[in-house]
């Protein structure tokens, strides 16, 4: 049986008790948030993720790779043997921390700040990756924007536009730019969400984009596989990342994730093995699929 990931330090523990549980300290940050200011600090795998060489020789581009899920994926990819380029908006301190851990793992990490809501920047990310690495094997569309609103009346056209450009347009631009250059055996992994299946009205624009990401993934997979490239999506549940204290009311942050059967938010390191699996040849017969990591909440 193929395993999805290596031991990340908690395989013998009860998953309900193996990570911090609510109630979390009341906290709030300005968007986009900083991982270093979160309490408790997210676990992104620096101390626990042990790779097994499943991505040796691979080169990856990861958006939102400075913190949260993107950081955990960058570290896991590096521990599995891949070099990575991480894109991020403006969180230089978080990006430096990700780069430090990747480089201490013996791999190359290229950091590129900028706004992926601009098509030219997305194209330049692909060009930079190809220039730095000479090839591109994995694209992880992970960066996202959300904001909690009490109802549709509070969502401005500018905010709707910004959400779609960050979550959908950037994915479209990056996939379009990558596909002509990606080698056979390559993989595109898009980050969807449980919000695609169980949408919260307070996250209306975000939830709408996450549903669209699944449709986009399933459609593009049918084209890309003709060129030997697989396209899949991951649908996380509540994950403890800077997006939470920077986009949700403090009282919601305190209870974040308690509505899952596991009873807590997931940690970024718990998502990383899924991305590794989808990036590796272990998942060679999987394309156009969505893998959930939701703490037991059903994707339905």
pLDDT band for 300, please (50, 70, 90 cuts): confident
Per-residue pLDDT band at 10 (split at 50, 70, 90): very low
Question: SS3 for 97?
Answer: helix
CA distance 200 to 248: 12
**What contacts 137, CB < 8 A, 6 or more positions away?**
57, 58, 59, 60, 82, 182, 183, 185, 186, 187, 279
Question: In degrees rounded to 5, what are phi and psi of residue 234?
Answer: -115, 135
8 pLDDT higher than 60? no
Q: Which residues are catalytic?
A: 206
The distance between the two most distant Cα atoms of the chain, rounded to a whole number of Å, is 50
CA–CA distance, 182 with 179 (Å, rounded to integer): 5
Q: What is the pLDDT of residue 6?
A: 55
Other C-beta atoms lying within 10 Å of the C-beta of residue 53: 11
Residue 215: count other Cβ atoms within 10 Å of its Cβ. 12
Q: What is the pLDDT of residues 124-153, one digit of tens each?
A: 999 999 999 999 999 999 999 999 999 999
pLDDT in tens, 112-127: 999 999 999 999 999 9
Q: What is the pTM of this model?
A: 0.94
């Amino acid at each position: 049986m193929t395993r999805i990931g290596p031991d990340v330090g908690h395989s013998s523990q009860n998953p309900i008790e193996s990570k911090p549980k609510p109630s979390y300290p009341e906290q709030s940050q300005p968007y986009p948030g900083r991982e270093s200011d979160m309490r408790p600090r997210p676990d992104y795998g620096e101390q626990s993720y042990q790779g097994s060489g499943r991505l040796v020789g691979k080169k990856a581009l990861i958006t939102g790779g400075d913190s949260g899920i993107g950081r955990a994926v960058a570290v896991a990819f590096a521990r599995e043997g891949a070099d990575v380029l991480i894109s991020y908006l403006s969180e230089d301190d978080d990006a430096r921390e990700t780069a430090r851990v990747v480089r201490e793992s013996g791999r190359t990490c290229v950091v590129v700040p900028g706004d992926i809501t601009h098509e030219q920047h997305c194209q330049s990310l692909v060009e930079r990756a190809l220039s730095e690495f000479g090839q591109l094997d994995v694209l992880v569309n992970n960066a996202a924007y959300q904001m909690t609103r009490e109802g549709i009346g509070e969502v401005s056209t500018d905010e709707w536009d910004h959400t779609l450009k960050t979550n959908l347009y950037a994915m479209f631009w990056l996939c379009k730019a990558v596909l002509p250059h990606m080698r056979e055996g390559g993989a595109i992994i898009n980050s969807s969400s449980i919000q695609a299946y169980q949408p919260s009205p307070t996250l209306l624009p975000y939830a709408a984009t996450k549903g669209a990401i699944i449709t986009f993934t399933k459609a593009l997979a049918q084209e890309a596989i003709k060129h030997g490239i697989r396209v899949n999506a991951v649908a996380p549940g509540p994950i403890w990342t800077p997006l939470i204290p920077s986009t949700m009311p403090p009282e919601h942050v305190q209870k974040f994730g308690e509505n899952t059967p596991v009873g807590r938010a997931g940690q970024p390191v718990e998502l990383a093995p899924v991305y590794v699996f989808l990036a590796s040849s272990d998942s060679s017969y999987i394309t156009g699929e969505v893998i959930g990591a939701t703490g037991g909440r059903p994707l339905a």
